[in-house]
Homo-oligomer: A and B are copies of this chain.
């Protein structure tokens, strides 16, 4: 389909925070998307957005944006506790909707979102997880191809400095969807479900909340078994001591930054500031928002060379098949087979956050293709999050009841 035949989806964003700054440059690049509106409660953010997009409709509230009849679809990127009410509001206004990770705070909310989309006959997509990232997509493709025989086990370890990064209070408060399990769990759990086929049978896990100066969940770990006997072992430690990136020799290439983690020296300084209460979280957070130098360097500037893959929030993921393993390499995947190891390039060389998600939504709306990451898919991933919390409390494994499969055709 040539570009001139594309009828772009007229999109709005509710909540122009740090998450949205990752998505916007990719929206702008896509002929399928016309980013025409945004809503945010912060006047500075609205001003920065209007400067960037002079013709866009800019609103101070989600309600106003939902009342704009021109908008066809909305990316909900508000704080986690608002994903449900805003998604329902968007659906009730008759617009298609993408919810950021995590879909919601609990299964009850998630169900309301699924029902609202159904009742209003709009598409709901649960987006922005690293399940959409090229290494994970490539792993799924190779697994489905049968090249290495059937999948047998998954192992996924992320040691990051998430707890040291600038945080709003709601990003730490579990009752508002804060902590690494709610906020980073979707990356790992969506990826594992995507590779394992989706149908998790049981999960046993724990959460850790260990710092007085950061009262939130900074650790989780879990063991899950899929219906076909494949198991997955996953750990996420956000406390920023040992780092998964210490295990990949290319981690320091082309610098660090948000998501990629701080340097060891920066972490020492931030820990001191957090302990003494002298860290200016507001300023640190503001430095990441739209219009900031960080936003320009990390999300808008085209790098002079393709940046290497780094473990970041997904961490190292090893997919073990009967006759081989897959693991992320510098620019592709290590494909370990009976015949030896190969560093195989990716079909898509650059991860553009939101791009795959938006293509899926576009194809669903314009071409009646399926939404693979629909409300039920998101609910199944959320079920793992809430089950890890429950397992941590009860000390027992949890049987799951809301799992759905990913159709074989997806990513094959």
Contacts and interface: CB of A to CB of B under 8 A. Distances in A.
Nearest to A212: B322
- The interface residues of chain A, by DSSP majority, are classed as strand
Interface string A327-350: 100000010111111000000000
A221 B155 CA distance: 9
Contacts of A233: 221, 223, 233, 235
A231 B220 CA distance: 10
A318 B159 contact: yes
B340 A265 contact: yes
B334 A242 contact: yes
Contacts of A159: 318, 325
Contact of A153 (B237, B249, B267): B237
Interface string A217-236: 00101110100010101010
Residues of A in contact with B, size category: 35 or more
A159 B336 CA distance: 12
Contact of A202 (B222, B235, B316, B395): B395
Contacts of A320: 219, 237, 239, 241-242
Contacts of A201: 395
A204 interface: yes
Closest 9 CB pairs of A and B: A223-B223, A241-B336, A241-B325, A242-B325, A204-B204, A397-B397, A247-B247, A206-B231, A271-B338
